[in-house]
């Protein structure tokens, strides 16, 4: 289990996380929601070691993340950031996805590396682009490449920063179903989701951030209430039930 307790972080003169508490169990997909600037990406970066929190605890299966080396942490957590640097996009799709099975500490044979890389490319629908340079792909296709690299790592914990924001409708559903299936297979998946309706449709639980704190955790019907969302997002919101699903309607 991933456990976060009283997590705090601030940039100079700007508090961002003000006491985050959240648990993510293996076997569940948790969607992290909130307005821009609420602390979602900062929280995920603290978990991955990109940023160092001021205080609080983060643990995997009872082991403090701050006591793990970056190599150890990378061996336990697959991370998909919101964007990649230009140097990472000059490689082919195959080369980029293969990085997931070639990281230090892993001892896969060449044949197993190849099979894992092919499987990951297939999962994100990019086998036909295996030898295409990543910098020749669309933004959505690039995002699928980096999701594939994280899948190739085959870690027990998967953290993603808005993995479907650049994808079209087909692949939004494809990736969200894939994340749900990975959770069903026993992984703990925490993903930032911009689209509230996607989160409601696919996640087991939703965690809503506001002002650097989690203000609600639970099912879609528990978290996505009109009054709460209107307050958090600063605009009138309607919430309805359609075919048994919670649907959020923005103002028109």
In a 3-state reduction of DSSP, which class is residue 233? Answer: helix
CA distance 250 to 206: 19
Ramachandran bin of 79, using left for φ above 0, alpha for ψ from -120 to 50, beta for the remaining angles: beta
CA distance 176 to 195: 11
pLDDT band at 166 (very low <50, low <70, confident <90, very high): confident
In 135-161, which positions are buried (b, 16+ CB within 10 angstroms) versus exposed (e)? eebeebbbbbbbbbbbbbbbbebbbbb
For the chain, which residues make up each domain, given as ranges?
2-249
CA distance 222 to 225: 7
Residues with Cβ within 8 Å of residue 84, at least 6 apart in sequence: 142, 146
* Statement: residue 207 has pLDDT above 80: yes
> Which of the following CATH numbers is that of domain 2-249: 3.90.1010.10, 3.40.1390.20, 3.40.50.300, 3.20.20.10?
3.40.50.300
pLDDT band at 165 (very low <50, low <70, confident <90, very high): confident
* Statement: residue 87 has pLDDT above 80: no
Percent of the chain with pLDDT over 90: 67
* Statement: residue 57 has pLDDT above 60: yes
């Amino acid at each position: 289990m991933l456990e976060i307790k009283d997590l705090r972080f601030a940039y100079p003169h700007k508090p961002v996380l003000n006491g985050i508490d959240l648990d993510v169990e293996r076997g569940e997909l948790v969607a992290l929601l909130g307005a821009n600037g609420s602390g979602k990406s900062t929280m995920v970066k603290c978990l991955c070691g990109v940023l160092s929190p001021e205080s609080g605890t983060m643990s995997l299966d009872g082991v403090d993340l701050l006591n793990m080396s970056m190599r150890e942490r990378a061996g336990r957590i697959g991370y998909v950031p919101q964007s990649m640097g230009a140097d990472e996009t000059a490689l082919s799709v195959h080369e980029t996805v293969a990085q997931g099975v070639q990281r230090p500490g892993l001892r896969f044979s060449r044949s197993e590396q190849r099979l894992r890389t092919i499987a990951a490319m297939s999962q994100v629908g990019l086998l036909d682009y295996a030898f295409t340079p990543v910098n020749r792909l669309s933004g959505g296709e690039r995002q699928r490449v980096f999701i594939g690299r994280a899948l190739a790592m085959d870690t027990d914990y998967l953290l993603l920063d808005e993995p479907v924001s650049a994808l079209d409708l087909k692949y939004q559903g494809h990736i969200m179903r894939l994340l749900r299936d990975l959770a069903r297979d026993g992984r703990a998946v925490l993903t930032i989701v911009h689209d509230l309706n996607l989160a409601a449709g696919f996640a087991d639980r939703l965690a809503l951030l506001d002002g650097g704190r989690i203000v609600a955790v639970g099912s879609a019907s528990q978290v996505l209430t009109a009054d709460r969302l209107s307050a958090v997002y600063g605009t009138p919101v309607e919430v309805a039930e359609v075919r048994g699903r919670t649907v959020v309607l923005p103002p028109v």
